Structures are given as C-alpha cells and as structure tokens.
Copies of this chain bind each other. A is one copy, B any other.
Amino acid sequence: MSFAAVQRPVRHELVQVQGLLRDAFRTSIPILNRVGGHVLATRGKKFRPTLLLLTARVRDRLDESAVLSAAVVEMVHAAALIHDDSVDRSALRRGLPTVNGLWTDEMAIIMGDYLFGHAMGLMVRNHLDHPLEVLSRVVTEMSCGEALEFQYAYDLEVTEEQYTEMVRSKTGTLIGAATEIGAGCAADGGSRRPVAKATGRSRRPARGARMKFREFGERLGVAFQIVDDVFDYLGDPEVTGKPMGSDLAEGKVTLPLIAALREASEPDRRRLKRLALRRSRTVPQWDQLRALIEKCGGFAYARECAEGFAADSRRLLDEALGPARSRSAAAVAARRALDQAVDYAVRRDH
C-alpha cells in the first residue's frame, strides 16, 4: 500500500514542512548547506510529521504551530538517524548514501548536533512550550533506548519485555511525541503562555486524552519497529534498500529471534544460538538460521505482536477521540488517514 494516500489530507502542510527543513540549511557555512541538501534530498516519507499533522487536523487544530512542530519533530528524527548511521557505520540507508558514508563520521556527528540545536531554537523562538516539554523528555528517552540497545547487544538472553521497552523508547517515543504534540496544538500556539490561561480557553485536550494520543503513537511506533525488525530477516534488499541480516551483524537481537529461542526445543535452541552468535555467516548458514526461526514460529509471533500493537493503537485513538459528534469533513478525512497509517505501519512491504 502507498503512504501517499495517508498523506493526502495534509499534503499542503507537508510542503510547508519541507520549506522549513530547507530553511534550516540556509546558513553562511557552505559545507553545512551541502550536507543539509543531501539530507533533504534523501529524507524518507515524513512518517512522523504526517502523523503530527493528521492528529492536529482530526481535532480541527491544524495551525501554524502544528506545521512548525512537525518540522521540528522531523529534524529531531533526522538528527537521530544521522547519528545512528554513523554509530552503525552504515554507508547506505534505504539504498541511498548516508552522511557518514559520503562525508565522515565527524560530519555526521556535527550535522546531528546542528539539527538538534536548530530544532530546539525553533521551539524556543516560536514559544512552542508544549512541544518543548514533550521533546525534552523524548530526546532523553530516545538515547536511553539507544543505550539499552548497546547494553543488550550480542545478548541472547534478552527477554521480550526488555526488547519491547527498548523499542518503545528508541522508536515509539518520538512517534508518540508526534501524536501528543499534534493533539496539543491549538489556537494558542500550543504554548503554556499566560494569554491562553487568562482567557480560560486552552484547547489542549485533558491530560487523560493527551496520554491516550501519546500512547496511540507509541504503540504504532512499536508495531512499526517490529515490522522493520522482521524485514531484516525476510525483506527484499532491493525493496528495503538495506542488506539482509545487518541488524544481527551489529549484535541486535530482535523479536523473531527472541521468540524463536524461547519456543525452540533444546537442540534447536543450541543450533539457533550457534548460528546467531557467529561473527559472520555464509549464505547457507543465514538460510538455515531463517528456516530455524520460521520453524520455531519466530516470524509468525513477531507479526502477531505487531498486529497486536497496531490494534492497541487503533483502540487508543478511538478512546482519545471520544464519541464522533459533528466533525468537519477535513477531520473525518484525517481520521480515515490515521487508520490507514496504522495499516501502513504493519502491512507495508518496506
């Protein structure tokens, strides 16, 4: 299925987001603009800004602050990815060269830091207090997720609970930030400034609803990541743009393997461990590992989990939105697109 359909209700706003991203690389420093141009040209489908804008629209609150916040969330995401690629020594992402691949790890660290700083500056200058509050928490949680991933590397004893918490903090939190911020955007600029308080007309949803919007995004993010982790074993590199098995090669022990190890018979578990712990694998060894995971139900279990998180996220969105009442046509279209986004997360082919 295509993501373009999901984006349709907010396509004009996504163009504005792209403009804000372009502005970030209009500096007086040629190298920054050159690397930035490359980052812009190779950025993906804007999953997080799309979700933020749709969540804002579904509440009829799609204003300038939502567009700014969507750009900020994409900058934080891009910064994290650029740092990640450098950490993983990846030369390609989705088939395109990475910053560290084209330039150096040094430039990747600088570019990530620049984007973090620029995102922070945009929020402060535009008094986006609610996004600031959300993202200051999430940026820390994301690096905690990365630290957990580091801690669990090459550890075949990692449990499903540990994996899920790691994925939630690494991937879920930023998607949860997108939906929480989108829901919080309002005519007062999404800020906690006195003007909104004084008039008593803060259009931010109550704390309970806000948490549900956040959790809607977090679960969606976890579903998204589990599907990604299955692709590492079964995806077509021509389509995913990433060589198969690269997660395991970096020591990342993900759900299909965790589930298979748990369910395997003793001899199968020994074989799984032996194959998974090798420094490198031949093609037949790789095929054998995949066949064993399949036999022990690892892929089926992971897909089921992803579907479970997707179902959770649909339910949370329902609860967050409450009874339908009279919504605008735009809000109805956005609601449909959010449902499609959940479908997309679990049914995409790359």
Contact = CB atoms under 8 A, between A and B. Distances in A.
A124 B133 contact: yes
Contacts of A30: 151
Interface residues of A, number: 44
B87 A116 contact: no
A335 to B, nearest CB: 31
A139 B110 contact: no
A113 interface: yes
A195 to B, nearest CB: 10
Given A29-B144, A144-B27, A109 B83 contact: yes
A121 B105 contact: no
A140 B117 CA distance: 5
Contacts of A29: 144, 147-148, 151
A179 interface: no
A301 interface: no
Contacts of A146: 110, 113
Interface in A60-88: 80, 83, 86-88
A123 interface: yes
Interface in A97-144: 105-107, 109-114, 116-118, 120-121, 123-125, 132-133, 135-137, 139-144
A137 B120 CA distance: 8
A147 B114 CA distance: 9
Interface of A: 27, 29-32, 80, 83, 86-88, 105-107, 109-114, 116-118, 120-121, 123-125, 132-133, 135-137, 139-144, 146-148, 150-151, 194
28 contacts: A27-B144, A29-B144, A29-B147, A30-B151, A31-B147, A32-B147, A83-B113, A87-B105, A87-B106, A87-B110, A107-B147, A110-B143, A110-B147, A110-B150, A111-B147, A113-B139, A113-B142, A114-B144, A114-B147, A117-B142, A117-B143, A118-B140, A120-B139, A120-B140, A121-B139, A123-B136, A124-B133, A132-B132
Given A113-B116, A124-B136, 13 more contacts: A27-B144, A83-B109, A87-B110, A109-B109, A112-B113, A113-B143, A114-B144, A117-B142, A118-B140, A120-B120, A120-B132, A120-B136, A194-B194
